[in-house]
């Protein structure tokens, strides 16, 4: 039986700074990055769809063709005539850290679950085995659309499906920190797997220690927590049990774009295949280590680790 996964969010045109006068063209978005790496790495029998909205422009067509080539399903992409994808620029410093500059206020994905033409996408959520989304996904949704999405996730879980949520915090997407905090707290109530990053959590909630973050998630009642610690590994929490899975090998990053997104893909690939959280964390570390050795969000397919012998 096929395991069906939907990654929900926004893909944007990516312009990455190569030097003082050159930009390279690509595309990316946190949940799209995860969908691509999950499609590349998942065990046979796992089908990954990307659920979003695009326009009817040439750039949207390029995205759809690229996703299909990656094995990411495009049947749940709403097409909104007259709309365009969002755009972002990346500048990377000498340490491999990046800064983002967004142009997305009128992007097609902002109509998701609000425009009636995206009603089929909303209705389809309950049909999946796993739905993955991020705090960035929530940041682009209008409040009524968030309500509809929340209800759809409740229906999914009632039918036996699971939900994975990455609290990928970008301040520019929110009116203030309180709004983002409220969204995290609300949607963790329908999350089975939480995939936050410690640095994002500290920026959003003001955590002074790892204990602060772990205790907050325990209070929220999340069943499975994989807290990303960057080069220090991953902290796994299951009830009262807590353990850190270190990275097998520290690498010097060229570009940290999509490090967390690719970790999520490796983690979910192993969990969907029946692997333990520890095995999943190690798979996530392998994926992230490969990604940060390259520039841009999506690395060459040949450079992507094979987590299973039958992976394409």
Domain that holds residue 149: 3-303
Bridge-based pairing state of the strands 46-54 and 3-8: parallel
CATH number at residue 32: 3.40.1190.20
Q: Output DSSP code: residue 172.
A: G
Structural domain includes residue 123: yes
SS3 286: helix
Structural domain includes residue 297: yes
Model confidence at 20, in pLDDT bands (50, 70, 90)? confident
**C-alpha span between 210 and 207 (Å, rounded):** 7
Q: What domain count does the chain have? A: 1
Residues 234-273: tens digit of each pLDDT = 999 987 789 999 999 888 888 888 999 999 999 999 999 9
Structural domain includes residue 287: yes
More confident residue, 135 or 100: 135
pLDDT tops 60 at residue 312: no
Catalytic residues: 261
Map 95-142 to HEC letters: CCCEEEEEECCCEHHHHCCCCHHHHHHHHHHHHCCEEEEEHHHHHHCC
Structural domain includes residue 98: yes
At 96 the pLDDT is 65
SS3 278: helix
Q: Is the pTM of this model over 0.85?
A: yes
Structural domain includes residue 15: yes
Structural domain includes residue 309: no
Model confidence at 69, in pLDDT bands (50, 70, 90)? very high
Question: DSSP of 22-90, one letter per residue?
Answer: EEEEEEE-HHHHHHHHHHHHSPTTEEEEEEEEE-SSHHHHHHHHHHHHTT-B-TTEEE-TT-B-EEEEE
At 282 the pLDDT is 97
Q: Mean pLDDT across the stretch 296-304?
A: 91
Instruction: Answer yes or no: are the C-beta atoms of 202 and 229 closer than 8 Å.
Output: no
Classify residue 296 as left (phi > 0), alpha (psi -120 to 50) or beta: left
Structural domain includes residue 311: no
pLDDT tops 90 at residue 190: yes
């Amino acid at each position: 039986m096929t395991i069906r996964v939907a990654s929900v969010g926004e893909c944007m045109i990516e312009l990455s700074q190569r030097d003082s006068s050159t930009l390279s063209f690509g595309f990316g978005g946190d949940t799209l990055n995860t969908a691509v790496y999950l499609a590349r790495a998942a065990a046979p029998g796992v089908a990954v769809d990307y659920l979003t909205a695009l326009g009817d422009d040439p750039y949207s067509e390029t995205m759809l063709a690229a996703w299909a080539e990656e094995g990411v399903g495009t049947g749940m992409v709403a097409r909104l005539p007259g709309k365009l994808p969002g755009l972002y620029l990346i500048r990377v410093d000498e340490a491999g850290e990046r800064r983002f500059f967004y142009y997305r206020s009128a992007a097609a994905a902002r109509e998701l679950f609000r425009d009636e033409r995206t009603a089929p996408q909303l209705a389809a959520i309950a049909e999946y085995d796993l739905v993955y989304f991020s705090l960035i996904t929530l940041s682009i949704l209008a409040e009524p659309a968030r309500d509809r999405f929340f209800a759809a996730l409740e229906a999914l879980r009632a039918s036996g499906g699971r939900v994975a949520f990455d609290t990928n915090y970008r301040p520019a997407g929110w009116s203030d920190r309180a709004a983002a905090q409220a969204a995290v707290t609300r949607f963790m109530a329908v999350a089975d797997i939480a995939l936050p990053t410690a640095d994002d959590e500290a920026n959003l909630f003001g955590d002074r220690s790892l204990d602060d973050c772990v205790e907050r998630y325990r209070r929220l009642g999340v069943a499975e927590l994989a807290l990303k610690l960057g080069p220090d590994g991953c902290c796994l929490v299951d009830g009262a049990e807590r353990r850190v899975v270190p990275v097998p090998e520290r690498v010097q990053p060229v570009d940290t774009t999509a490090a967390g997104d690719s970790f999520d893909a490796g983690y979910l690939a192993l969990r969907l295949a029946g692997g333990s959280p520890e095995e999943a964390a190690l798979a996530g570390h392998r994926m992230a280590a490969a990604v940060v050795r390259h520039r841009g969000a999506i690395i060459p397919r040949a450079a992507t680790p094979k987590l299973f012998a039958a992976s394409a």
